[in-house]
């Protein structure tokens, strides 16, 4: 069984922008439930299906498999809930830890979140100076939440 151990943060500056290359991601959800999600994603010319379980602390089960890009695109367009999640991800290596900064576009334009995957929940990390408030465990920052509650609607509240 695959386990994902992840922490999420808001950002307090743009200093991260020059530290890595941006890659476009598009993803959609076939199933969004409190106990599981099933996601389809395209990254460059690759497609993936990912199944995730419910989070306990920073951890949750995760299974990801590559699928043909043509199938992924069709599933995104025909079967996934809308709006799709569209974002640019910048991967930044600092002290043997990979930070992933997601800059959302489309219906979630304006939202920027940094994530870091850990080897275990107690792993100590040094936060770069551009990292702000931790939002791990806050479901409104989950991509699956953003499908039904896009960031653009938050700004109207």
Per-residue b or e along 90-110, where b marks 16 or more CB atoms closer than 10 Å to that residue's CB: bebeeeeeebbbbbbeebbee
SS3 107: helix
User: Does the annotation mark 29 as catalytic?
Assistant: yes
Q: Which phi and psi angles does 71 have, rounded to 5°? A: -65, -45
Going by the DSSP 8-state scheme, the letter that residue 56 receives in this structure is B
Q: Which of 25, 29, 58, 141 is catalytic?
A: 29
Q: How far apart are CA 83 and CA 97, in angstroms?
A: 31
Active site residues: 29
């Amino acid at each position: 069984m695959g386990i994902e151990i992840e922490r999420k943060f808001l950002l307090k500056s743009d200093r991260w922008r020059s530290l890595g290359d941006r890659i476009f991601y598009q993803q959609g959800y076939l199933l969004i439930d409190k106990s599981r999600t099933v996601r389809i994603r395209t990254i460059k010319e690759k497609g993936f299906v990912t199944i995730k379980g419910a989070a306990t602390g920073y951890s949750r089960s995760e299974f990801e498999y590559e699928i043909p890009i043509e199938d992924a695109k069709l599933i995104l367009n025909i079967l996934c809930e809308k709006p799709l999640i569209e974002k640019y991800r910048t991967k930044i290596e600092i002290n043997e830890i990979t930070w992933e900064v997601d800059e959302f576009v489309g219906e979630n334009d304006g939202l920027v979140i940094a994530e870091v995957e850990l080897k275990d929940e107690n792993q100590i990390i040094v936060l770069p100076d551009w990292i702000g408030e931790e939002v791990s465990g806050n479901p409104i920052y989950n991509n699956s939440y953003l499908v039904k509650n896009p960031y653009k609607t938050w700004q109207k509240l």
